[in-house]
Amino acid sequence: MIFERSVLREKMAVAGGILLTLLTVTSVLVLVKGLREAALGSIGLDTVAQLLAISILNYFPLLVVATATVAIVVTLSRLYQESEMVVWQTSGVGSFGLLKPVAMLVVPMFLFLLVMNSILTPWTAQKLSAYRNQSGIAELSLLKSGDFRSSDGGKRVFFIEEVAKTSPPSFKNIFVAQQGANNETTLVLAQNATLANSRDNRAFLVLNHGVQYQDNVKDGTLQSMRYGQSAFSIDEFTQLKTTDLNNTPPAQTTTAVLLTRDTAQDRAELYRRFSDAFMILPMALLAVMLAYVRPRSSRTWGVLLAIVLLVIYINLIKVGESKIGKERWSLMYAMLLIHGSVLCCAVLALWYRTQAWRMSAFNWLRRSPS
């Protein structure tokens, strides 16, 4: 019990410092972005503080996982570095005895993230969507007849021949060029457009009598589609389906409601929410393995490798989410393939490292003077 309390107390102190640092860095980055948009007139200064709070909540699950991972590596590696772990083992602490204080830190975090992702995450997504809508509407309101205007870091260009100052505002002869995430270019032209609101008060743009061109990066072909009327989101300017307007987006829906729906997007959102919480468990085991260092050696490599593994794990989760959203993988298959594989690797790596450390401790005791 003395060992467990001592290690847990040190981990909590280290975790508090790391979390405070990560929150500070994240806050500064979000604040700079908010002030830049306020300077451009996209949002008001009174909205910046709200954006800061909402963004912190949005990033909080990832910050918690990163905090726990680094705190475990830093705390346990100090025990190895200063040979305290050998002393604890001679006092009766087994090779896996340090897993209990790790579990005492990580399991409550895991349960907290599950609850947060079920209740608070949808609310955060709703607020962020409202902010993006406000920013998009403000961006449209700045457009003047005959002017080109770029947004999204130059990835999107608007041109409207005539802006009618009606309520809601309407536009004539619209041209939009947008570069996608995979470097594909989309061109949208329409004779006129108006602003409208969905049932849950999300603003979108209704384009009438237009055509959409999109280049296919893979084969170099150009696809075109004519439409009489089509709806586009304001924040990302992506085409919306009727179901998108009638149903609340999965990211803004509570977990209880998602469990009653069975679309690919709903399953992908469920997978993401559970992944944000579950990933802390394999990462904790990997952190215990990476904490092993030889006496008086540096702890830096363990921390850096933990961060690299966390980034790889996050990207694997995103791959699973994408595959589920495209109906290529089932929810259970993605869970077993991504999280099951990482968990098995973490357990095997920890077992191997424990055996190596046990032999190292034995050799250290044998060489020490009696």
pLDDT at 194: 79
Looking at the structure, tell me whether residues 168 and 130 fall in a common domain.
no
Residue 370 predicted with pLDDT over 50: no
Q: Which of 247, 274, 291 is the last residue of a domain?
A: 247
Residue 60's alpha-carbon distances to 22, 27, 121, 220, in angstroms, are 10, 11, 10, 40
Greatest mean pLDDT among 2-6, 164-168, 222-226 lies in: 222-226
Tokens standing for 308? 């690299």
pLDDT value at 362 more than 60: no
Asked whether residue 56 falls in the same domain as residue 126, the answer is: yes
* Residues above pLDDT 90, as percent of the chain: 22
- H/E stretch holding 211 reads strand 203-215
More confident residue, 62 or 164: 62
Q: How sure is the predictor about 262, in pLDDT bands with cuts at 50, 70 and 90?
A: confident
Provide the mean pLDDT of the chain: 79
Separation between Cα atoms, residue 138 and residue 135, nearest integer Å: 5
**Neighbouring C-beta atoms of residue 153, cutoff 10 Å:** 7
Q: Do 96 and 163 fall into the same domain? A: no
Same domain? For 10 and 123 the reply is yes
Residue with the larger pLDDT of the pair 76 and 235:
76
Here the contacts of 225-233 (C-beta below 8 Å, separation 24 or greater) are 230/206, 231/196, 231/204, 231/205, 231/206, 231/207, 232/188, 232/204, 232/205, 232/207, 233/204, 233/205
* Boundary of a domain, candidates 200, 230, 247: 247
pLDDT band at 365 (very low <50, low <70, confident <90, very high): very low
Residues 340 and 199 placed together within one structural domain of the fold? no
To which H or E segment does residue 15 belong? helix 2-40
Residue in this structure with the two tokens 């009606």, named with its chain if needed = 166
The predicted model gives 277-302 an average pLDDT of 83
Task: Pick the last residue of a domain from 225, 247, 269.
Answer: 247
Which has the minimum average pLDDT: 136-150, 286-300, 355-369? 355-369
Strands 203-215 and 222-233: antiparallel
Do 279 and 323 belong to one domain?
Answer: yes
Range of the domain at 114: 2-135+254-367
Strand partners, 257: none
Instruction: Note the pLDDT tens digit of each residue in 227-254.
Output: 787 777 666 666 666 555 556 778 888 8
Cβ 309 vs Cβ 283: under 8 Å: yes
- 19 vs 365, more confident: 19
Say whether both 85 and 131 belong to one domain. Answer: yes
Q: Closest Cα partner for 288 from 341, 347, 361? A: 347
Angle 62-66-69 from CA coordinates, rounded to 5°: 140
The first and second tokens of residue 109, run together, are 């975090």
Is there a contact between 299 and 81 (Cβ–Cβ < 8 Å)?
yes
Considering the domain architecture, whether residues 29 and 70 belong to the same structural domain is answered as yes
d(CA 253, CA 224): 33
Residues 131, 259 within the same domain: yes
Examine the pLDDT at 190 and tell me if it is beyond 90: no
Residues 6+ apart with CB under 8 A from 151: 139, 158
Is 111's pLDDT higher than 60?
yes
Please indicate, yes or no, whether residues 210 and 272 belong to a single structural domain of this protein: no
102 exposure class (CB count in 10 Å sphere: 0-12, 13-18, 19+): buried
Residues 110 and 225 in one domain: no
Domain match, 233 and 307 both: no
Check: pTM over 0.85? Answer yes or no: no
- Strand order through the sheet with 147-151: 147-151, 156-164, 170-179, 185-197, 203-215, 222-233, 239-240
In total, how many domains does the chain have? 2
